[in-house]
Structure 1
């Protein structure tokens, strides 16, 4: 759940959150000077905020796709029940490496 939030939702919302914080700070400053500022949503540059959020989300997803977890050309071993009855999480091992528990499914051995 944390990964989609950090890679999609946060980059999409970050420009808007920064703009809202700046607008609230600026409105407080204007009120202190005796002016009546417009609400932040009335003066928000919505197309620019949306474009900035989309660009940040695409950059995050692109970075994750090219530099994500996993070993290139590795052997993927799906989650399974180990010899001791415990659930072993899914892992990717370097080619030729044997998992510590030795439980490699026959079709995942890379041969």
Structure 2
């Protein structure tokens, strides 16, 4: 986070460096705000990026847990979870519908 603060100070310094000498107080303040707005946008975008990465990692972890539940049995092509309470009468073939849904191509249409 220290880098972000340093970047904001640098953005303000650069904005102030381009302020005309006769701009007066409000001119300097306006240029400083422009620098902060530009840097603030970058900070917001970086924060959103970190949040999206966290959501992606959570999603990947959830998918891994589902895959672990719906793993193929050691003794045949059946799903552990879907067949758990059905043996010996019925066993769900593996890949089960859950694994098939995870492996399917996304439908963006």
TM-score, normalised via structure 1 length:
0.37
- Bigger Rg over Cα: 2
Q: Which has the higher helix share?
A: 2
The answer to which structure, 1 or 2, has the higher relative contact order (CA under 8 A, 6+ apart) is 1
